[in-house]
Amino acid sequence: MDTQSDDRRIDERYRIVNGIFSTLRPKIVADIQRAKHSLTLHMLYRATLKVDTLVGLFLKHNNLEHYYPNSILFRTIVEHFLTALFVGIRNDIEKSDEAALDYYTGYLDSEIIKRTAYDLRLEGMLHNVEKNDSLENINRALDQAWSQSDRERIHKVEYRFDIKNIMKFLIHGIPESHEYADIMDSYPVLIKAYNITSSYVHGGPTAEFEQYEWFEASVQQTRLDKFGTFSKLMALQIKEMILFRLLEYSRREYYPACIPLEMFLREKYVSQSRKQ
């Protein structure tokens, strides 16, 4: 495999998709509200805003001085991407907004409950109050009337969005006929990179040794360059999920702007078939 050629093609695809998105952004924002499965599109669009900001920071500071913080940033980008991919693929399979609804209801409620419970536990430790994070106190703090079964149901929804469970879904939960069925075959380096950056996020000793003792500058820069390429790929693929859905919604209006992308992808597949 020609890694440099692959990287150049990702750079070109990134440029094309960003150009299309920039040109069509006002229309995309308007059409998301009217299109089928608008909640899924809304979630994916918000994901592009978050990921574009993160990737922009990464690329702006893609140098050895920022090796450590960019390793942390990369892991965050992967988590944002996998969450968006999970919602997008479930939308394809289920033909509904169920995954996006889970994201904005159960997942949201679970985060709020956990955050409130954490604050209550801290308050309890400070004032020597046992079991200050009881469901009764959580309900009082949030002006809710959740039962224990409600709490378990809510956390069960959030559990689906755990990155390990998303990976399991991407590997085992996609029908063989689906276009993303082999998605994880395309991302072994991405998932391995997600794993190795854990120590950077959590302040572990492995990250410290890789930063200051184990890795030469050339190794660190090679890793950063690979992270940068994957970051571009993740950013553009979320945008493509939106564009392909809006093409179905209004092909006549979106197709002319997407012709450069279609030509690029067609050239890619022709090139691959020739190699085979």
Cα atoms found within 13 Å of the Cα of residue 254, Cβ hemisphere only: 22
Does residue 44 belong to any structural domain of this protein? Answer: yes
Identify whether 66 is part of a domain. yes
Q: For residues 147 and 154, what is the distance between their CA atoms, to the nearest angstrom?
A: 11
Distance of CA 159 to the CA centre of its chain: 16
244 found inside a domain: yes
Domain that holds residue 10: 3-96+163-275
| Burial of 272 from C-beta contacts in 10 A (0-12 / 13-18 / 19+) | exposed
- pLDDT digit of tens for each residue in the chain (276 aa)? 456 677 888 888 888 888 888 888 888 898 898 888 999 999 999 999 999 999 999 999 888 888 899 999 999 999 999 999 999 999 989 999 999 999 999 999 999 999 999 999 999 999 999 999 999 999 999 999 999 999 999 999 999 999 999 988 888 878 777 666 666 666 667 788 888 899 989 999 998 898 888 888 888 888 888 899 899 989 999 998 998 888 777 767 777 677 777 777 666 543 444 444
Residue 117 within any structural domain of the chain: no
Is-contact 194 201, C-beta < 8 A? no
Q: Is residue 125 in some structural domain?
A: no
DSSP state of 66: G
Q: Which secondary structure element, helix H or strand E, spans residue 93, and what is its range?
A: helix 67-94
Residue 192 carries which side chain, given as an amino acid letter?
K
26 in a structural domain: yes
Residue 132 domain-assigned (yes or no): no
Whole-model pTM: value is 0.88
Furthest-apart CA atoms within the chain: distance in Å: 71
Burial class (CB in 10 A: 0-12, 13-18, 19+), 241: buried
CA distance 101 to 183: 24
Is 121 contained in some domain?
A: no
Domain count, the chain: 1
Q: Cβ distance 169 to 41 under 8 Å?
A: no
C-alpha neighbours within 13 Å on the C-beta side of residue 103: 23
